[in-house]
Amino acid sequence: MDNTEWKNDHKCVGELSKRECFLESHDASNSSTDGSKMYSSFRKTIDKIGKKNVVQVVTNNASENVSAGEMMEAMYPNIYWTPCAAHCINLMFGDIFKENSYALVFTKAVKVYSYISQRSLLLNLMRKFTNERNLVRPVKTRFATAFLTLRSFYLKKKNLRKLVFSNEWKDNKYAKEAAGKETAKVLISPSFWNDILRALKVGGPLIRVFRMVDGERKPPMGYLYEAMDRAKESIAASFEGDVRKYEKVFEIIDTRSDNQLHRPLHIAGHLLNPG
């Protein structure tokens, strides 16, 4: 259960892996904010398939789905409700980027990108210095895009600094505008790049977990617990154990994990994983 808008069943079938079987779809847009109505939809589908044939129901982490999942588990003790792990990690990114330091550096990066991309002369000039590469890295999950955008900036740090120090930048009319001067100021600011690096130290390990649970290379159920533990260890190590620098991030990770990732099937998968 998610909020994907399919135009037709053929597109949905085209998205399935070889281990999945499409039965039917329901447009629940009129019920998607009501836990009781969502539970009713779950129950109808479970009863149609047969409760003995259902192991788990996976949804995103919207509050109505949490409520529906709790009602479903009360009605069917042998069926587990499992929140989507990829959605959970995406929400971790969302919570992290609400923190002032991370929100501020992302806002600066977006302003820089917006100023350059909305002016064809500057956009072409930037692409000349970045080997035709753009700065924004859109992905299907909104909050993970923030991290990937900052990483894209950092990978192009040297070339972006060359851009604003170049005569081509200094000689164009936009460099003399207030916003142009501010753009250059941001790109040559050591604190801007240090703040990006700090965000990457936090986001890098989490994006690796996100890609694991969102990919199809192997079923992630038995690896999620260990992957999250390793992500936290990696974050701590990147800050050389200075708890003050990642304490709030760990609070965010633990809150989301305790409420959404620490599920019975995840525990079973971890304990029974032969790898």
Per-position pLDDT tens, the chain of length 275: 555 554 444 454 445 566 677 777 777 776 667 889 888 988 998 999 999 999 888 888 888 888 998 899 899 988 988 888 888 899 999 999 999 999 999 999 999 999 999 999 999 999 999 987 777 765 556 677 888 889 999 999 999 999 999 999 999 999 999 999 999 999 999 999 999 999 999 999 999 999 888 776 666 666 788 888 999 999 999 999 899 999 999 999 999 888 777 666 666 666 666 66
CA-to-CA distance for 144 and 207, rounded, in angstroms?
A: 7
Same domain, 98 and 74: no
* Token pair belonging to 260: 């959404």
| Judgement on whether residues 224 and 183 belong to the same structural domain of the protein | yes
Whether residue 13 is contained in a domain is answered as no
Record the pTM. Answer: 0.80
Residue ending a domain, choose from 55, 83, 111: 83
Q: What are phi and psi of 80, to 5 degrees?
A: -105, 135
Chosen domain end from 83, 113, 140? 83
Q: Tell me, yes or no, whether 60 and 193 share the same domain.
A: no
Containing domain of residue 251, as a range?
Answer: 89-272
Residue 6 lies in a domain: no
Structure tokens at 145: 């895009």
Number of structural domains (the chain) is 2
179 & 66 share domain: no
Q: Are residues 163 and 209 in the same domain?
A: yes
| Burial degree of 231 (CB within 10 A; 0-12, 13-18, 19+) | buried
Together in a domain, 194 and 237: yes
My answer on whether 242 and 137 are in the same domain is yes
User: For residue 24, is it within any domain?
Assistant: no
Whether residue 5 lies inside any domain: the answer is: no
Let me know if residue 18 belongs to a domain.
no
Whether 187 maps to a domain, the answer reads yes
Q: What is the dihedral of CA 82, 85, 86, 89, to 10 degrees?
A: 130
Please check whether residues 75 and 101 belong to one and the same domain. no
Tell which of 64, 83, 102 closes a domain: 83
Do 154 and 228 belong together in one domain? Answer: yes
Residues 111, 70 share a domain:
no
Answer whether residue 28 is part of any domain. Answer: no
Say if residue 42 is in the same domain as residue 154.
Answer: no
Q: Which residues of 172-181 are buried (b: 16+ CB within 10 A; e: fewer)?
A: bebbeeeebe
Domain membership flag for residue 137 = yes
Find the distance separating the first CA and the last CA of the chain, reported in whole Å.
Answer: 30
pLDDT at residue 59, rounded to an integer: 86
Domain co-membership, 97 together with 220: yes
